[in-house]
Structure 1
Amino acid sequence: MLHAIIMAGGSGTRFWPASRRATPKQLLPLAGERSMIQATRDRLDAVSPADQTYVITSKALVSPITEQLPELTACNVVGEPCRRDTAPCVGLAAALVAAKDPDAMMLVCPSDHVIEQHDRFAEGVQRGQKILEQHPNAIITFGIRPSYPAESFGYIQQGEKLPEHDAFTVECFREKPDAKTAKEYVEAGTFLWNSGIFLWRAQTILDALEKHEPEMYSHIQKIADVIGTDGFDETLQREFEAIDGKSIDYAVMERHDEVVVIEAPFDWDDVGSWQAVSRLHPHDEDGNAVVGSHIGIDSKNCIIHARPGHTIVTIDTEDLIVVQTPDATLVAPRSSEERVREAVAELDRRKMTDLM
């Protein structure tokens, strides 16, 4: 059976001031009426029922996520004791799934993507399942055909076509490139954006962690040994904290012998920063992407995000990000959006934790 894993532990600092520690971006309706995590669960419904869906998040977010996803049982929303990157997250999820279904396939999805074509998403997953039936030790990733030379995404280089399947072996993974290299990747036609969506058998990823990250695997195995017992919470706290965190890309993907990439048959957006509002929402006649109420006088190409009941007025402005919340307002050039994290760090330095 297929089990779905939603990774939802991020803090979403680039979406400050809307995103806060208690309500990070995955809990916010940034691309529609439903929150990001609710939208993720909605599209997974076609491939994995609620009782086979897990959310791995932080301890602090277990309660609000459970409230937003009442169809999931409490034991399927698991809070990590601390942040340890994606490899321990995936390992913990694999242990939970394997304890329930030793032969399970796992679909791993971040909680902050926009994929509106649910039928095409299900089609891509089903293609991956057919590959796993013939190649049970494969690790499958979904690549996105680049629409522009993005510097903010990792890339996957396609290798040889897989016989009998519309998929390719992975030649290599490439980190986020500079502008020149990104342009070369797009022009080559053999590079895809790395979506961060994965499909594999639970036992395959556990075996891969045992091979490539034996110390990490040892801690995960100790947690696995007490799943379903009274000692689970205590063991999870102790063993997870002892793990040296690492991304699943570094820990396994770049080292596994059999990695396959499927070019995703669905549209995809990685909602990573306020620039996503410009991609996901309609523009007015002056190119402004507006969520909420806005009056623009000679204002062009701005991103405006206002809460209900509040109107933002801009005059003689261009290429700005303006975000209003009840206790904080962000005004920044669109070109400086990456510096929003610096603002959050400065709040921390000043001990203004009520705004974080």
Structure 2
Amino acid sequence: MLHAIIMAGGSGTRFWPASRRATPKQLLPLAGDCSMIQATRARLGAVTPAERTYVITSKSLVAPIAEQLPELREANIVGEPCRRDTAPCVGLAAVLVAAEDPDAMMLVCPSDHVIEQHDRFAEAIQRGEAVLNEHPDAIITFGIRPSYPAESFGYIQQGKQLARHDAFAVECFREKPNAETAKEYVDAGTFLWNSGIFLWRAQTILDALAKHEPEMHAHLQNIANAIGTPDYDETLQREFEAIDGKSVDYAVMERHSEVVVIEAPFDWDDVGSWQAVSRLHPHDDHGNAVVGSHIGIDSKNCIIHATPGHTIVTIDTEDLIVVQTADATLVAPRTSEERVREAVAQLNRREMTDLM
């Protein structure tokens, strides 16, 4: 059976000051009326029931996520003892799922994507299941046809097409490119954006970790052996903390012998920074993307985000990000959005934890 895994452990620092430790971006309504994680769960509802949906997050977010997703079982919202990147995250999910269903398929999704076409999303997953039934040892990823030469996304190069399927062997993965290289990828026509959505059998990812990351797998196996025993919580804490964290891309995807990419038939956006607001919300006559109340006088191409009951006024401004919350305001050139993380680091150094 198919089980869905929502990865929701990120801190969303690039969305400061709206995103905070207690309420990171996955708990915020950045692209609609519901939060990002609620939208993710609604989308997954088209392919898996609530009882086969898991959330892997940080310990501090278990309670607020449970409040936002009351349909999930308490045991299905799992708090990692510490942050260890995505390979341990999916490995932990795999041992939990395999304990219930040794033959399980796992659909792994980040909690901060925007995919509004739920029917097309379900269609893509069904295509992936069909591929997996014929190629049980495959790891499947879903690629997005580039609409522009993005520098903020990773890329997947398509290789040979699989027989009887509209799917391709992965030739290689490419990290986030510079502008010139991104244009080359788009012009080539064989590169897709890496969506970070994966489909595999639980046993396949565990076998891959055993082969490529044996120390990580050993810790995960110790956790698996403790499931259902009185020592489980203590074992999870000890063994997970001992793992050397790595991304699933480095640990497995770039090393597995059978990786397949399916071009997704749905529109997609990775809501990674304030620039996403410009892509996801309508613009006024001067190119400003506005959430909340805004008065612009000779203001162009700005991203404005105001809390309810507050009005932002801009005069003679262009290409700015302006974000207002109850206790902090961000003003920055759009080209400097990556430096928002530096502001969060400054807050940390100054021990201004109430703003983090």
Normalized against structure 1, the TM-score is what?
A: 0.99
Report the Cα distance in structure 2 between the residues aligned to 1:201 and 1:211, rounded to whole angstroms: 16
Please give the alpha-carbon distance, in whole angstroms, between the structure 2 residues aligned to 1:279 and 1:254: 30
Alignment partner of 1:225: what SS?
Answer: helix
Q: Quote the residue 1:73 is aligned against.
A: 73
Once the two structures are TM-superposed, the CA of residue 214 in structure 1 deviates from its matched residue by 0.3
After superposition, residues 140-289 of structure 1 pair within 5 angstroms as 140-289=140-289
The reply on whether 1:326 has 2:299 as its aligned counterpart is no
Which region of structure 1 is more displaced relative to structure 2, 179-188 or 3-12?
Answer: 179-188
Structure 1 residue 226 displacement after superposition:
1.1
Secondary structure at the aligned position of 2:159 is classed as strand
Q: Supply the AA of the counterpart residue of 1:14.
A: R
**Matches for 1:296-307 after TM superposition, within 5 Å:** 296-307=296-307
Amino acid at match of 2:105: M
Residue by residue, what CA displacement relative to the aligned partner does 1:38-78 show, whole Å, maximum 9, x if unpaired? Answer: 00000000101000000000000000000000000110000
Per the alignment, residue 8 of structure 2 pairs with: 8
- Give the match for residue 338 of structure 2: 338
Map of 2:48 onto structure 1: 48
Deviation per CA, 1:322-345, whole angstroms, max 9, x where unpaired? Answer: 000000000011111000000000
Distance 1:273 1:97 in 2: 32
Q: Would you identify which runs of 4 or more consecutive aligned residues in structure 1 move more than 3 Å?
A: none
Task: Name the SS for the 2:317 alignment partner.
Answer: strand
| Residue ranges of structure 2 left out of the alignment (5+ in a row) | none
What is the aligned partner in structure 2 of residue 291 from structure 1? Answer: 291
Q: Return the letter of the residue paired with 1:187.
A: D
Distance in 2 (alpha carbons) for counterparts of 1:318 and 1:184: 30
Q: Secondary structure at the match of 2:316?
A: strand
How many residue pairs get aligned? The number is 356
- After superposition, give the CA deviation of every residue in 1:170-220 in whole Å (9 maximum; x if it has no partner): 001111111111111111000001000000000000000001100000000
In the aligned structure 2, how far is the partner of 1:232 from the partner of 1:181? 48
Which whole-Å deviations, capped at 9, do the CAs of 1:246-287 have from their partners, x for residues lacking one? 000000000101100000010000000000000000111111
Q: What do you get for the CA RMSD once the two structures are aligned?
A: 0.5
Query: Matches of 2:28 and 2:341 in 1, distance apart?
Result: 18
For residues 249 and 112 of structure 1, what CA distance do their matches in structure 2 show?
A: 18
Between the aligned partners of 1:19 and 1:27, the Cα distance in structure 2 is: 9
Aligned-residue offset at 1:10: 0.2
Aligned partners of 1:129, 1:244: CA distance in 2, in Å?
Answer: 31
Deviation at 1:227, TM superposition (A): 1.2
Q: Which amino acid aligns with 1:174?
A: R
Paired residue for 1:117?
Answer: 117
Matches within 5 A, 1:117-136: 117-136=117-136
- What fraction of aligned residue pairs are identical, expressed as a percent? 85
**Distance apart, 1:237 and its partner CA:** 0.4
Write the letter of the residue equivalent to 2:325. Answer: T
Letter in 2 for 1:185: Y
* CA distance in 1 between partners of 2:331 and 2:24 (Å): 19
Pairs within 5 Å for 1:94-113? 94-113=94-113
CA distance in 2, matches of 1:317, 1:179: 26
Q: CA offset at residue 228 of structure 1?
A: 2.1
C-alpha displacement of 1:231? 1.4
Paired letter, 1:234: E
| TM-score (normalised: structure 2) | 0.99
